[in-house]
Chain A
Amino acid sequence: MLPLCAALLVLAAWSLTVGAYPVTLEQALAALRERLTGSPGAGTIDTVLFGIRLPRMAAAITVGGCLAAAGACYQAIFRNPLVSPDILGVSAGAGMGAVLGIFLSLPAGGIQLLAFVGGMATVGLVVGIAASMRERESVLTLILAGVVIGALAGACTSLLKMIADPYDQLPAITFWLLGSLSAVNAGDILSILPFALLGLAPLIALRWRIGVLSLDDDEAQALGVPVRRTRLLVIGCATLVTSSVVAIAGVIGWVGLVIPHIARMMVGPSFARLLPASAILGAAYLLLVDTAARSISGSEIPLGLLTAVVGAPFFLWLLARGRRAWA
């Protein structure tokens, strides 16, 4: 775990110096010292670092860490390494909420709120449907309900895109659905951070039991874990975490799916270690990708595009390595 944290720190220091306005590490440290010693820094370097880069890096770390942690939890409780945090429709629901917000020309905060509510409500609906089935909340009914409701939300999103203003709203919708951190400011992060932490804390505290849940229902129950209650709690917390970050960053795929795999290769499948490792690795990964997104070309590249471009070949490589690599 320590090497992972160290890698994240090094990456953060590097990311601080990369961008349209060149800043050396010494300049960055000097600006940081000025801030810490109380003299409120002035000048371009201070603005670039504290006004633009640091908030954006904080967003990348938060979003990446949260998505990867939620992905690891979902993979454990659904006993499937191919599951991503979207499996129960959280992204589809959040996407629908945000698109509705853009369609109604709401301010940024309103769009974020609708995205957050859309994600939570969709998963709530999925769990509700699964609970009313005969096979109460079995893994299969949950996933099937998630696929169905997710598709429905996707259809609503498409409808909104069709009737949205093609010059003004449609580009904003497309950009949001591809995910980006370019518009995120410090206030956005602070507004979602409490929710993200509220969701993460129980997941971290319960991580041993979540690992036991990755066994069969009967087994986990016989080992002393109240399966239904724990699974619902994990779904609730992971959804809270995902909805929070999706609300400010848009739909960013692949992180929650691929990062837990890499973490598993590094620290093994034991969930008590896997969860923190996934979170740190996800934070580092998204920081790296976002740094690339803002510095590769003159114009901003959507994050979701980059994570897919990196994630898809990596996944194929995993596939080629055979079954052992999955688990």
Chain B
Amino acid sequence: MHLSASDLSVGYGRRQVAAGISLSMATGEVFCLLGPNGCGKTTLFRTLLGLVPPLAGSVRLDDDRLDRLSRREIARRIAYVPQSHTPAFAYSVEEVVLMGRTAHLGIFSRPGRADRRHALSALEQLDIGHLAATDYSLLSGGQRQLVLIARALAGEAAFVIMDEPTAGLDYGNQSLVLDRIRALAAAGVGVVLSSHDPDHVLAVGDRVALMRDGAILRQGSVDEAMDAGSLGAVYGMAVDVIVLPDGRKVCLPAAAGGRLRDGGNRLAEGWREAGGSKEGFKGRVY
């Protein structure tokens, strides 16, 4: 299944936030939207979810135009994972996840045994089945994020749109959530996430769109599009993309005083030559 936007303008009323956006996202991959705060990511997401109508252009789910689908039909195909938050009432984890079944219920019905099974298996899939009876509002930020992801899974949507899933999480929880996101894509879900941390995109993304000031600067596979030049342009600063000895990449602000003209490749090569050890890195002068 494909979720695509063609020549989309998004915004509220007369205020246009982003324009000229064409994207295509497929199930089974992690599509990342990377950009600084205020670049229009959230508005674009809300448009992709059908929460705000597009100002121009259209969003399609395969061949169906999103604005022709009912709220319920959209909810069955696209799930939304907001940033973790505290609801006003002390729901248990299972109750929160069960709400993910709403789009599969009749207007007047309540979740039954089958829905409860879906909820529990979604929790199991994220290895948090033991939390089912716990008070959701007492969980840590990382656990809450996982519960919200489980809620999306319980709804059996083809796409899961996540608004900065790692925002506000501590280091350990960030990587835990990123791991689970990778596993979701492997299980065939299309994950669309926004982030303002290039390292997270490098860690989990298959494809990426780099956004700045309401436009997409570049999009493509994470390997190609995430080079130092593009990232530098997005953030308006020099950055280095460094390849680690095991092939992973990280992004860092360029070292002060000595901006690397080749985007850090030489640094990375040198580091690899030295076996990637800290000592080796220190011992060389570039």
Contact = CB atoms under 8 A, between A and B. Distances in A.
Nearest to B91: A269
Given A215-B99, A216-B82, A226-B71, A327 B49 contact: no
Interface string A79-101: 11100000000000000000000
A81 B89 contact: yes
Interface stretch (A125-133, A201-209, A308-316): A201-209
A327 B89 CA distance: 4
B75 A214 contact: no
A214 B111 CA distance: 17
B82 A209 contact: no
A249 to B, nearest CB: 28
Contacts of A224: 71-72, 74-76, 102-103
Contacts, number: 79
A79 B102 contact: no
Interface string B62-80: 0000000001101110111
A219 B49 CA distance: 10
Nearest to B75: A224
A320 interface: no
A215 B102 contact: no
A292 interface: no
A270 interface: yes
A48 B92 CA distance: 48
B110 interface: yes
A219 B80 contact: yes
A172 interface: no
Contact of A222 (B75, B85, B107): B75
Contacts of A205: 107-108
A211 interface: yes
A79 B108 CA distance: 21
Interface string A229-272: 00000000000000000000000000000000000100011101
Given A206-B108, A208-B110, A79 B87 contact: yes
A206 B107 contact: yes
A169 B29 CA distance: 74
B88 A270 contact: no
B189 to A, nearest CB: 15
B190 interface: no
B88 A80 contact: yes
A243 B64 CA distance: 45
Nearest to B82: A219
B49 A222 contact: yes
A219 B88 CA distance: 14
B95 interface: yes
Contacts of B72: 224
A223 interface: yes
A205 B80 CA distance: 26
B67 to A, nearest CB: 14
Contacts of B102: 208-209, 212, 223-225
Nearest to B106: A208
Contacts of A226: 71
Given A80-B88, A208-B102, A324-B90, A218 B46 contact: yes
Given A208-B110, A212-B99, A222 B90 contact: no
Interface in A187-223: 205-209, 211-212, 214-216, 218-219, 221-223
Contacts of A222: 49, 51, 74-75, 78-80
Interface in A264-308: 264, 268-270, 272
B51 A270 contact: no
A51 B205 CA distance: 75
Interface in B105-160: 105, 107-111, 137, 155
18 contacts: A81-B89, A205-B107, A205-B108, A208-B110, A208-B111, A211-B99, A215-B87, A218-B51, A222-B49, A222-B79, A224-B102, A225-B102, A268-B90, A269-B95, A270-B91, A324-B90, A327-B89, A327-B90
Interface of B: 46, 49, 51, 71-72, 74-76, 78-80, 82, 85, 87-92, 95, 99-100, 102-103, 105, 107-111, 137, 155
Interface of A: 76, 79-81, 205-209, 211-212, 214-216, 218-219, 221-226, 264, 268-270, 272, 324, 327
Given A79-B87, A224-B75, 20 more contacts: A76-B89, A206-B107, A207-B110, A208-B105, A212-B102, A218-B46, A218-B49, A222-B49, A222-B75, A223-B75, A223-B80, A223-B100, A223-B102, A223-B103, A226-B71, A264-B89, A268-B90, A269-B89, A269-B95, A270-B95
In the complex, the 10 A-B pairs of residues with the closest C-beta atoms, listed nearest first: A224-B75, A224-B103, A222-B80, A269-B89, A327-B90, A79-B88, A224-B72, A208-B110, A205-B108, A223-B102
